[in-house]
Amino acid sequence: MTLTRPVPVPDEQSAPYWEATARHELRIARCSQCGSFAVPPDQVCPRCGTTVPAFSFEPVSGRGRVRSWTVMRQSFLPGFEEDVPFVLVDVELVEQAELRIIGKLLDGPEAVVRVGDPVTVAFEDLVPGVSIPAFEIAAGS
Ligand SMILES: [Zn+2]
């Protein structure tokens, strides 16, 4: 197998996130001051404005609802040519309003997806030790 897709390169800020996804675990940065989650974590908490958020990465359920979606038919990044077409979903996690993650829907390009559909996180293994979050339509939806 040759991998042509770009692989995320963790920096100091995002390293705990990628370490968790490698274990197929979704952890989101949470502000130590106000307890709100932030994606991506920044120098300033978007909720309370503290400049010392001291984010810790806490596990979340991985459950959410589709806010919007699109079918990607063209590859805008080198390395994704073999993946198109695929459905990209914008998901609001159940933990917090406006806590959104965008990911590939693993149900295939023909999947019937509607705004509001429940989804659960799943993980795509890119190379050993590197996995990225994606989503699957939740059973029984
Ligand atoms: Zn905060």
Express each pLDDT in 32-58 by its tens digit: 999 999 998 889 999 999 999 999 999
Are 104 and 69 contacting, i.e. CB atoms less than 8 angstroms apart?
A: no
Q: Beta-strand (E) ranges in the chain?
A: 27-30, 37-38, 56-59, 63-72, 86-93, 100-105, 118-127, 130-137
Instruction: Give me the pLDDT at residue 25, please.
Output: 97
* Distance, CA of 60 to CA of 112 (rounded, Å): 26
- Which residues crowd ion ligand 1, with CB under 5 Å? 31, 33-34, 45, 47-48
CA of 28 to the centre of ligand 1 (A): 13
In the prediction, which pLDDT does 6 show?
Answer: 76
- Specify the pLDDT at position 85: 92
- Please give the distance, rounded to the nearest whole angstrom, from the Cα atom of residue 38 to the centre of ligand 1: 9
Question: What pLDDT, on the 0 to 100 scale, is given for residue 82?
Answer: 80
Which pLDDT does position 65 carry in this prediction? 98
- Position 56 scores a pLDDT of 95
Tell me how far CA of residue 91 lies from CA of 8, 24, 43, in angstroms: 20, 18, 24
What pLDDT score was predicted for residue 37?
96
What distance in angstroms lies between residue 47's CA and the mean position of ligand 1's atoms? 5
Distance CA 36, CA 59 (A): 13
- The pLDDT assigned to 70 comes to 94
Residue type, 93: L
pLDDT for the residue 118? 98
Query: pLDDT under 70 in the chain at which residues?
Result: 1-4, 140-141
55 CA → ligand 1 middle, Å: 9
- How many angstroms does the Cα of residue 17 sit away from the middle of ligand 1? 18
CA–centroid distance, residue 51 to ligand 1 (Å) = 9
Amino acid 75: pLDDT: 77
What is the reported pLDDT for 124? 94
